[in-house]
Amino acid sequence: MCFAYDARPPELPADLALPRMAGGAGAELLELESADGARFSAALAQAPDSDDPAVVVLPDVRGLYRFYSELTERFAAAGHDAIAIDYFGRTAGTGPRGEDFEYWPHVQQATAEQVQADIAAAVAALRERTGAARVVAVGFCYGGALAFLASTNAALGLDGVVGFYGSLDGTRIGMPSPGEHAAEMRGPILGLFGGEDHAIPVEQVHAFDAALEQAGVEHEIVVYPGAPHSFFDRSFTEHAEACEDAWRRVLGFLRGVPAPA
C-alpha cells in the first residue's frame, strides 16, 4: 500500500489556503454509477469560492479511505472542488471500509478501462454538482499510474494530470505500463517522485521524462532527493519541505491549466 491507514495529508501552506476555509470543507460521501452500471463510492468536497479546475483524486491501492477524503478537503480549502473515487465497487461493494480491508484481490480484478469509466462518471458528477469547466486528475501510487494512463484517453475530457510516485511499470499492478505509453499521452502532465523510492527506480523516471520529451508532450517531472515512496504524508516531518513544494507545484499546475476557449 501507499499510506498507512491512519496517515493524514500534509496541511496546505498557510498562504495557499482560503482564510475562511483553513479548517477544510467536510467531504460528502456519494455513490456514483459507471457506464457499465457498476456503483462505486466517492467523496466530494466543495469550496464556496471555487476556482476551476476541479480535481478528481485517484487513491492508492487501498481505494477510498480517510486520507483521500481529507485530501479533497485540502483541495477545497485551496479553492478547488474535488472528488475522490473508489475503484472496487464492482468487486467489494460500496461504503466505508476498515483497516482490515484486503485490497489486493480487488486490485488484481480491476482494469484500466473500468477505472477510466469511473473517472468519467466522477468528472460528470463534478460538472453537474459544481459547474466545473475544467477538470484535472491527481493520483497517488496506483492512482498516479492510472492518472498517467488516463491522459491517453481524450474522451475523459481531462485538462491535465498529476501523478505522485505513479508506478511506471504496470506489470507490478496488473495495468498497462505508463512508461510504454508516453507517446499517447496528452499534456499537461506533472509527475512527482521520490529519489529514494525503491519501488520506482530513478532511471525509470528519467526514461519516462525523456519519452514524454521525445513525444512533445507538455510535462514537468520532479524528483525529490532523499524522499521515499509515499512521502506526501503529514507524519513524515523529515520530508516537510518536499510536501510543501509538492503542494505549491500542484496548485500552481492547477492555476496554469488554460481556460476553455
What band does 24 get if pLDDT is binned at 50, 70 and 90?
very low
Q: Which residues contact 250 (CB under 8 A, 6 or more apart)?
A: 138, 162, 190, 192
Q: Which residue is associated with the grid cell 480535481? A: 55
- The span from the CA of 56 to the CA of 111, in Å, is 18
Distances (CA, A) of 86 to 41, 132, 232: 5, 21, 20
Tens of pLDDT, residues 31-63: 999 999 999 999 999 988 777 899 999 999 999
Tens of pLDDT, residues 97-119: 889 999 999 999 999 999 999 99
Please state the pTM of the whole predicted model.
0.95
Q: What's the mean pLDDT when you consider all of the chain?
A: 93
Tens of pLDDT, residues 179-203: 999 999 999 999 999 999 999 999 9
What is the DSSP pairing of strand 135-140 with strand 39-45? Answer: unpaired
pLDDT exceeds 90 at position 6: no
Is the link from the previous residue into 225 a cis peptide, with omega within 30 of 0?
Answer: no
Q: Of the candidates 15, 86, 11, which has an alpha carbon nearest to the alpha carbon of residue 44? A: 86
With residue 57 as reference, give the H or E element that holds it.
Answer: strand 54-58
- The span from the CA of 241 to the CA of 247, in Å, is 10
Distances (CA, A) of 47 to 20, 21, 22, 24, 90: 10, 8, 11, 9, 30
Under 8 Å between Cβ of 10 and 140: no
Q: Of the candidates 230, 154, 218, 226, which has an alpha carbon nearest to the alpha carbon of residue 190? A: 218
Retrieve residue 98's grid coordinates: 476498515
pLDDT exceeds 60 at position 156: yes
What domains appear along the chain, each with residue ranges and CATH number?
16-256 (3.40.50.1820)
